[in-house]
Amino acid sequence: EADIYQTPRYLVIGTGKKITLECSQTMGHDKMYWYQQDPGMELHLIHYSYGVNSTEKGDLSSESTVSRIRTEHFPLTLESARPSHTSQYLCASSQDKPQEKLFFGSGTQLSVL
Amino acid sequence: AQSVTQLDSQVPVFEEAPVELRCNYSSSVSVYLFWYVQYPNQGLQLLLKYLSGSTLVKGINGFEAEFNKSQTSFHLRKPSVHISDTAEYFCAVSAMPSGGSYIPTFGRGTSLIVHP
């Protein structure tokens, strides 16, 4: 059922590198989200978007940035990766109604050495 | 602001035993409530949701949950678990703050471990 894709699935990178985590969905959803997931912790919202050219920061402060130039694409960029950025990043999308479920990608496990 | 508390970080249980995963929420407005499941190395997928009406909600894989407004709870239950139910379970709430928009808030998850 899932029509939302994240790449890469795993990424190991050195400190200071610039990285982009890709997220695409084919469902035409207006709303897209990035969550950060650490073991035993809440899923923390770091960015979301209502549609093209609309992006907002979430409740967890993050040094990452996002863009939404096309409806289906919502990439997340870290200009200079640090070990504190090591985490699982989950992308999701939904229709713009609160009762609608979120569709999640399989996640990107990022490790910064 | 809204928040979700999942009281148990880990719930071990034997196969075919019943299980309950607890979830409490806080919100100053009406809410929609969700349970998601995350199998190893996969994204989250919806188990069930409460929007309105009957407080007992049935979902996939034999799970059900009961909305209790007075106790602000939405506990997840299954009468007989299988090994394949071993996964991480997340409770989530979606509400509209005054003048704002719906952004889902998730709990920290409960790891259900089913032993043979």
In Å, how far is B84's CA from the nearest CA of chain A?
19
Could you tell me which of B56, B65, B16 has the C-alpha nearest to residue B37? Answer: B65
**Mean pLDDT, range B27-31, rounded to an integer:** 80
Residues of chain A above pLDDT 90, percent: 79
- Contact residues, A window 11-40, toward B, CB-based 8 Å cutoff: 33, 35, 40
Q: Which tens digit of pLDDT belongs to each residue from A45-102?
A: 999 999 999 999 987 777 899 999 999 999 999 999 999 999 999 999 998 777 788 9
| List of chain A residues whose C-beta atoms are within 8 Å of the C-beta of residue B90 | 43
pLDDT value, residue A97? 77
Q: Which two tokens stand for residue B98?
A: 């005054």
Q: Nearest residue on chain B to A49, judged by CA atoms?
A: B103
If pLDDT is split at 50, 70 and 90, which confidence band does B64 have? very high
Question: A31: which strand partners?
Answer: A94
Q: What is the mean pLDDT of residues B24-31?
A: 84
- Say if the Cβ atoms of A40 and B9 lie within 8 Å: yes
Q: What is the dihedral of CA A88, A95, B32, A108, to 10 degrees?
A: -10
How far, in Å, are B13, B21, B90 from residue B82 at the CA level?
10, 15, 18
Does the distance separating the beta carbons of A102 and B95 come in below 8 Å? Answer: no
